[in-house]
A and B are shown apart, each in its own frame.
Chain A
Amino acid sequence: MLRRRLNRLFGGDEKRVDSRTIYVGNRPCPATETFIPPKFCDNRIVSSKYTIWNFLPKNLFEQFRRIANFYFLIIFLVQVIVDTPTSPVTSGLPLFFVITVTAIKQGYEDWLRHKADSEVNKYPVRVLEDGQPARKDSEKIKVGDIVEVVEDETFPCDLILLQSSRDDDTCFVTTASLDGESNHKTHYTVPDMEKDLQSLSATIECEQPQPDLYKFVGRMHIYKPEHDPAVRSLGPENLLLKGATLKNTKKIYGVAVYTGMETKMALNYQGKSQKRSAVEKSINAFLLVYLCILISKAVVCTTLKYVWQSQDGQDEPWYNQKTEKEKGTILYVKMFTDFLSFMVLFNFIIPVSMYVTVEMQKFLGSFFITWDRDFFDPEIEEGALVNTSDLNEELGQVEYVFTDKTGTLTQNNMEFIECCIDGFQYTAFSSELDSFCVTDGPVSTFQEKAGREKEELFLRALCLCHTVQVKEAGPDELGGDQVDGPASEPLRPAEQRGFIASSPDEVALVKGAMRYGFTFLGLESKTMKIKNWQNDVEEYELLHVLNFDPVRRRMSVIVRSKSGDTLLFCKGADSSIFPRVRPEEVERIRMHVQRSATEGYRTLCVAYKRLSVDEYAAADAGLREARLALQDREEKLMAVYNQVETAMSLIGATAVEDRLQEEAAQTMEALQGAGMKVWVLTGDKMETAKSTCYACRLFRRSTELLELTVRTLESGGRRREEMLHDLLFDFHRKAVQDAPPARAGVNRSWSSANPEYGFIVDGAALALVMNPSPDTNCSRYRSLFLQICQNCTAVLCCRMAPLQKAQIVKMVKNSKGSPITLSIGDGANDVSMILEAHVGIGVKGKEGRQAVRNSDYAIPKLKHLRKLLLAHGHLYYIRIAHLVQYFFYKNLCFILPQFLYQFFCGCSQQPLYDAAYLTMYNICFTSMPILAYSLLEQQIAIEVLLDNATLYRDIAKNAMLRWGPFLYWTVLAVFQGLIFFFGVKYLFSNPALQDNGQVFGNWSYGTIVFTVLVFTVTLKLALDTRHWTWINHFVIWGSLAFYVVFSFFWGGIIWPFLKQQRLYFVFFNMLSSVSAWLVIILLIVLSLLPDILLGVLRKPRGPHTQQMRRCLPSSGTSTIFVLSQTTSTHSFSWSD
């Protein structure tokens, strides 16, 4: 941070302009009169936060910025400054302990970062100096240096690719460590680059560093002695990012453009914003209550003290004269210091250790998720991943589940199912490679074929219109000769041919074309080769790729065939293709597309266009110009794309299947049974998404669907706005007003009497609801919409843009009652909703790792969500809720006797317990049992939780941390505190408690109370423990034994560092008194009686015993949809 700031300071003017100029090889260029080597930051990566020198102050500062630590620091300082009843050690020691442990942990983490940093910074790299590669440390690379990178090395900084050892001027990289996508990506050298880098004289003008990994604009000026400077446009395809790894390429040279902390990787190295759990909010609310209790206690005591002192002779009895200092103090100052003293005396009511225990519980508890073998997926050899442990308990509180469809509900494992050419249907079930057979589709009876020409055109389109690469088997084939002569050489079997693509649909399509006999052989220096039915190799020159983007929802290629024809092939979602082709072609295809979509397939339409020479020239110029633009490149490119992709003719459509995830239906059913509302948010078509919903049993036969889509909006022949108004009110009447009021407790499976509603909305309709025209009542629509949604059993939002997904999540999140939301998705398009929801879950799917990186928890499969929520979430919630309540409880009954004692010691702030007990109570005597409980407790066995989803409803809405339970615990604590204090007080009406007639003093009093206290709160926890593992036994009995041993030890020795040996032999004497024993037993039993009684009386009404036996109706898939389970569904990562 400091480094960056310094750089900014010294970097001077250069930083203020929009772009930076880089001199390649740090050589002056003819165009610039004076060569001033610009200053950029060096290539040092600093991810560590501290240095040896600033560790202590900086770490302390950061720790005390936490409000709790700061509070304890203030208490400590008050104790040091003011003459207070307890020594500063009592609060200083725990605070010191907490601060030290945290500092050690953070220091260790930072040391690891230092080590990693220096590993990266000292990594040897080769930099071209005077034409020769020179070895350097990675951190010495300067902007403008030409760096050599060999295969399987990672790039040391962001480089512009100048030269590659591959013939086609490309190189392959994998960005697995950046965004987790392990597929190979192609990057291109700067076009028309000279081979001799030594003599290269060029400057690069590019934008200032920005964190977007996929954006880069720049321009390269190449100066040649006799020519005008040539200009080349640079885009993300020319930029090699630090952290990515070179693959399939022997060697590349690149010029460093961004180094060190300015690389895109470093700029992306920023933590996500923290999410806070609802439990934490409860804790804070309770803390506030306890703070109020604390302050009022202190106020009461201070007041009483002065009231009492105003009585005759009580202010300064002769036996307790004031010191000179006391006499000299002004009354109000005295009152204030007294108030502070009382605060200090009672401050243990808000324990430091609670924060430590809660954090430890969360941290250690999250291991159980990573350790769970049920989450292990043998396919990817990975288990669950916990990115944040702060939200464990939130998993038990989820009310709304927002799920992505593709890759989450479905497998994103694409298989080519059928296609439609010119209105005729073909299925791909035939295994023969080169017979293009027509079969009956599930419903069709087509027997005719389309014209052979059309078929070939269609297959060519499939083979050419993509960005798929052929995976090369080994480095020796890099030259490409073997692949080059396919006519002479037998092809590798199709199954062994690997294709690499950014989207699995593309691979499915290329493989589909292969089944029909058209094989894509590869892209070789801008030439695409395909093998046709005649086993001839056709070659096409690839002129332009009009990349896919989610707004256009289509992609195109422009190729030139051997015969000189320039062709544009385009494929994309039907909605984006149909308006761009001749309308008369549409009708024949549309029917097939819709039918395929209804069956749950992902459909794509394929179109083509023959470009005349003039047309191509115009398009080419437009594309080149747009690519060179430094500003608004994206927009300009889009405009050109849209202009080129018009007036095409439709060839056909494809249908690709995406199977449902394993147990998707059961999982959804379990979630709904647990009272969660499941919303599907997808970018896919309505029909596809709807069929997926049916297959997942989110919609059933009995579900009445309410549709609010563009189709229904336009059906009435009226304005959309009017229709929207009518529909919204109609649906609202149906779903909200007519619905029976008491729905909460009724399980869906058993309540067939009530009509169920499913709600379908699409992106366009949602946009109308969210941002209606100004004359309509915006918030009214919104609330209507929300109410409808909340009253439907399932909601399907299709045709959603990523931002709209987040919008929906936000809307629900901020609705009345602020329900806890969970988003689950696997793709980059789900990141926004994963970040928006309270809990974000990433599925380790096929669409890269972006969702996983941004999630709070990542699981390999959708089906794991069930155990994650129903078992882990439920248990974590119970554990932490009990932990929090118990902590407040045990500290209230700890401090209450001390408060009551003030009434019997003239409100003189006399502590009841010894300082050692005050300090150790929370740290040692009572902390371990509750920690063990909060890690191991299973009030209901995991299997039972999984089988009975309804149990999840018992803890919904933060049931265990509401004011009711809190009040119960508080009353219990007060009751016990009163018993502790007054029980011992009545015993002390005659302090001669031993059979030798000797009397006990105040420290014996405190020790008896404390002994009762420690035993009671520990046994109270033992009563609450339903799951006694050996660890529980060990810590509960161990804590009690430790207390006894410690007390013996503490009281058995004259401690030289103590001024007063207050507890010397107090504990021992206490144990030698029969009366003390009897009163301890009596008070413990009396304190626990109400709890036992309540436990017994409450049990018959408890929800579990009956239900645990009776399982819910089995959640098997209904017969109707068995079909759709097996032959189901897909959607297109594109249309997502």
Chain B
Amino acid sequence: MKAGPSRTNRPDNTAFTQQRLPAWQPILSAGIVIPGFTLIGLAFIGVGVALFVTSQKITDLEVRGKRDTHAVLFFFQGPVFFYYGLTSYYQNFRTYGVSKDGYQLSGDTYYFNVRAWYSCAPYQYDSNNNPIVPCGSIANSMFSDTFQLYQVVNGMKKQVPLDGKGIAWWTDYNIKYSNPALVNGSFANAFSGTVKPVNWSKPVYELDPTDQANNGFLNQNFLVWMRQAALPKFQKLYGRIAEGDYAQGLPAGNYTLLINYSYPVISFGGTKKVVLSNVSWMGGKNQFLGIAYLVIGSLCIVMAMVMLIIYAKYKFTDDDEDM
């Protein structure tokens, strides 16, 4: 772009240097904006209606407090997802959020003992100076309530199987987190020399006694917990009801929820809840999107009409048409 070594100092005669690059010069005229607004409005209303209807179809059932028997009055279309929710719980505290060791969680035993930057404070070591694995506040505060769902059929409790698989992100399970290699063929040996987090009742390699594969850092509930929630009021996936008799959904009837209540929330003014919900293509039930689309779509239409009136009245369109 520099002027070449020409004989004279005459500047180059290129479109760029002379600021004459061919250019498209759009002007937002009423002729474009009014149809544009109308189109956007119509499209938004369409999407909004679809969202709203979809969201209406999604069933969700919230369980608060300690009532344990619930009536499901209609067929609950499956697959049904089982969420637990917490309020006033700040998983997004900064000090909380950084209190974990990614290297350790990727299965690198070197970092069981060595911790650069003290990233796991205050849960690096226990009072006896033994390294905690998995270290840090997030792991330490893992949600510990357990749930069992029963359908009451003829007075008999029939357990509804809660599938704890596939509740964490695929990449978390398969790539981001991994367990340390077995030592002497034993999983537990890999964690020798370390202690379980202070608040845990079981070591990490015994999180799920029912399924040996669902242990260690790859325990799916652990993975779900480790993905911090965005807001202090959140819900996390606990399990899916997708097996056996309930694969197609929960039939109408009475259900009992057995909660092993061990996770304290009263001290910080929090609450707990359980949500049963099915999902659609847009995810869980959320009226916001549909309503927002409808409102903005209508707004666009209204604005288009207002503009049309203004322009028709004041004939501002005269010199816009040919631009």
Contacts and interface: CB of A to CB of B under 8 A. Distances in A.
Contact of B234 (A910, A991, A1106): A991
Q: Which of B29, B122, B299 has the most CB of A within 10 A?
A: B122
Given A992-B235, A1100-B314, A373 B11 contact: yes
Contacts of A193: none
B30 interface: yes
Contact of A1073 (B17, B25, B123, B283): B283
Contact of B10 (A313, A376, A988, A1092): A376
Contact of A910 (B3, B92, B119, B122): B92
Given A938-B19, A987-B289, A1054 B176 contact: yes
Interface stretch (A438-446, A543-551, A1074-1082): A1074-1082
Interface in A856-875: none
B224 interface: yes
B246 interface: no
Contacts of A991: 229-231, 234-235, 284
A109 interface: no
Nearest to A1056: B103
A1074 B47 CA distance: 12
Interface residues of A, number: 95
B221 interface: no
B6 to A, nearest CB: 11
27 contacts: A317-B267, A317-B268, A319-B96, A320-B90, A320-B141, A323-B122, A383-B10, A905-B92, A910-B93, A987-B288, A987-B289, A989-B288, A992-B235, A995-B280, A997-B237, A997-B277, A999-B227, A1001-B228, A1031-B21, A1059-B102, A1060-B100, A1069-B171, A1078-B293, A1085-B40, A1096-B28, A1099-B27, A1100-B314
Interface in B141-174: 141, 166-169, 171-172
Given A312-B269, A383-B11, A1078 B137 contact: no
Interface string A798-834: 0000000000000000000000000000000000000
A810 B101 CA distance: 66
A325 B118 CA distance: 11
A629 to B, nearest CB: 46
A1054 B102 CA distance: 11
A321 B102 contact: no
Nearest to A1069: B169
The 9 closest A-B pairs by CB, nearest first: A992-B284, A319-B141, A1005-B230, A371-B17, A1029-B21, A997-B81, A1002-B230, A317-B268, A993-B283
Contact of B229 (A378, A1002, A1099): A1002
Given A383-B9, A1074-B281, A324 B122 contact: yes
Contact of B19 (A906, A942, A1000, A1100): A942
Given A991-B229, A992-B283, A1099-B29, A320 B98 contact: no
Contacts of B286: 987, 989-990, 1075
Contacts of A410: none
A998 B168 contact: yes
B18 A373 contact: yes
A562 B175 CA distance: 110
A1061 interface: yes
Contacts of B172: 1064
A664 B292 CA distance: 62
Given A999-B224, A999-B227, A1064-B172, 9 more contacts: A325-B121, A373-B13, A904-B231, A906-B90, A993-B282, A1001-B229, A1005-B231, A1075-B286, A1096-B29
A105 interface: no
A1060 B27 CA distance: 47
B319 interface: yes
Contacts of B79: 997
Report which residue of A983, A1096, A1105 has the largest number of chain B beta carbons within 10 angstroms of its beta carbon: A1096
Interface string A1022-1060: 010011111110000000000000000000001000111
Interface in A341-398: 367-368, 370-373, 375-376, 378, 381-383
A965 interface: no
B264 A318 contact: yes
A342 to B, nearest CB: 11
Nearest to B117: A1059
B8 interface: yes
A368 B282 contact: no
Interface centre among A991, A1059, A1060, A1086 (most CB of B within 10 A): A991
From B83, B96, B167, residue with most partner A Cβ within 10 Å: B96
Interface string B280-311: 11111110110011001001100100010010
Contacts of B230: 988, 991, 1000-1002, 1004-1006
A991 B166 CA distance: 16
A1096 B13 CA distance: 37
A996 B319 contact: no
A1095 interface: yes
Nearest to B267: A313
Contacts of B140: 319
A451 to B, nearest CB: 54
Contacts of A376: 9-11
B92 A992 contact: no
B171 A1065 contact: yes
A906 B235 contact: no
A1002 B229 CA distance: 5
Interface of A: 85, 311-314, 317-326, 367-368, 370-373, 375-376, 378, 381-383, 904-906, 908-911, 936, 938, 942, 983, 985-1006, 1023, 1026-1032, 1054, 1058-1061, 1064-1065, 1068-1069, 1073-1075, 1078-1079, 1082, 1085-1086, 1089, 1092-1093, 1095-1097, 1099-1100, 1105-1106
Contact of B90 (A324, A383, A905, A1061): A905
A321 B94 CA distance: 12
A1092 B94 contact: no
Nearest to B229: A1001
B250 interface: no
Contact of A990 (B97, B141, B284): B284
A1000 B236 CA distance: 9
Nearest to A313: B268
Most A CB atoms within 10 A — which of B91, B116, B119?
Answer: B91
B95 interface: yes
A1001 B319 CA distance: 52
B289 A320 contact: no
B131 to A, nearest CB: 16
Contacts of B289: 987, 1075, 1078-1079, 1082
Contact of B235 (A322, A990, A994): A990
B141 to A, nearest CB: 3
A320 B11 contact: no
A18 to B, nearest CB: 46
B185 interface: no
A1002 B97 contact: yes
A223 to B, nearest CB: 53
Contacts of A381: 8-10
A1028 B286 CA distance: 40
B316 interface: yes
A908 B95 CA distance: 8
A1111 to B, nearest CB: 16
Nearest to A872: B19
A382 B102 contact: no
Contacts of B284: 990-993, 997
B73 interface: no
A325 B44 CA distance: 53
Contact of B175 (A1001, A1002, A1054, A1059): A1054
Contacts of A1069: 169, 171
B50 to A, nearest CB: 10
A142 B92 CA distance: 74
A209 B80 CA distance: 94
A1058 B102 contact: yes
Contacts of B231: 904, 985, 988, 991, 1002, 1005
A1029 B30 CA distance: 24
